[in-house]
Amino acid sequence: MNRWFWKRWVWAVVVGTTAAVGLTVAQQGTDAPAGPPKVGDVITLKFRDMPDRQVKVLKTDKQPDGSIMSEVKDTKTGETFTLMDKPDSFAPPAKASPEKASTKAPAVTPPPAPTAPKEAEPAKAPAALPPVVAVPATDPGRTAMMRDIEPHVAALEKGVAPSQRAMAARALGGCRHGSSDTVKMTIFRAAQNDPNPMVRAVCIEELCKLGYFEPAFELHLTKACEDANDEVRSAAKAAMKQMYPRR
């Protein structure tokens, strides 16, 4: 299993949501990895004013714009959340050009004629290199979105009452950021994992309204149509009918 040491500036509203990430990446504390993390990799995240956290990569998904969305799990607490890496976060590996061994014997040349020795020039001090400053990548629009949806995400994932979590799912689906991948993935996780069937049914309804027609959601609906709970079955069948009216 690969272990990567990543220095990251990470901002996330709560565990289980997508994090807006700016990367200064180092593998074993030095060079950047040649590609995005793979499933099973263990990554160390550096947080500002917070202790380091080791997470394990559970899932990676390449987005249309070339960015990499990775779902990770804290190896200590078991909590999960999502990291978003921009396309230019990973430097391609430099290709070494192998030198071909010469099979020819070196040519023997006569020694040059003696010349008068030149005065040695004083050694020049090497030019000072500018300091390397790691500047975290920021996306003002994404930061504003995360700030807007933070209360609803917290209520959906940590609310005590099922009605509170159901209202949070509807609030996320109806907010101005409802069409974003972050909101859809948050609601989809609740549709899969919430212990209350009413909340799962509400999440299915909201994802259908948002046009979340991903293959993973369709597979989930197929299973949900056979759920033991009437609300979940009804919501799943209605969603399938709306998504595929000719079936």
Indicate the number of domains in the chain. 2
Q: How confident is the model at residue 83 (pLDDT cuts 50, 70, 90)?
A: confident
**pTM for the predicted model, two decimal places:** 0.44
Does any domain span residue 232? yes
Q: Kindly report the average pLDDT of the chain as a whole number.
A: 74
- Kindly state whether residues 150 and 73 are assigned to the same domain: no
- Evaluate if residue 21 carries a pLDDT over 50: no
Count other Cβ atoms within 10 Å, centred on residue 111: 5
Does any domain span residue 154? yes
Does any domain span residue 237? yes
Which residue, 41, 56, 88, sits at the end of a domain?
A: 88
- Kindly state whether residues 8 and 83 are assigned to the same domain: yes
Average the pLDDT over 137-165 and give the result: 86
Does any domain span residue 59? yes
Instruction: Sort strands 42-47 and 18-26 into parallel, antiparallel or unpaired.
Output: unpaired
Angstrom CA distances, 193 to 12, 144, 187, stand at 20, 27, 10
Does any domain span residue 122? no
CA-CA distance, 188 to 199, in Å (whole number)? Answer: 11
| The token pair that represents 47 in the structure block | 């947080």
Which residue, 70, 88, 106, sits at the end of a domain?
A: 88
CA-CA distance, 247 to 244, in Å (whole number)? Answer: 6
- Kindly state whether residues 151 and 220 are assigned to the same domain: yes
Task: Give Rg (Cα) of the chain.
Answer: 27
Q: What is the pLDDT of residue 162?
A: 93
- Kindly state whether residues 154 and 238 are assigned to the same domain: yes
Domain enclosing residue 169, as ranges: 146-243
Does any domain span residue 94? no
Does any domain span residue 104? no
Does any domain span residue 190? yes
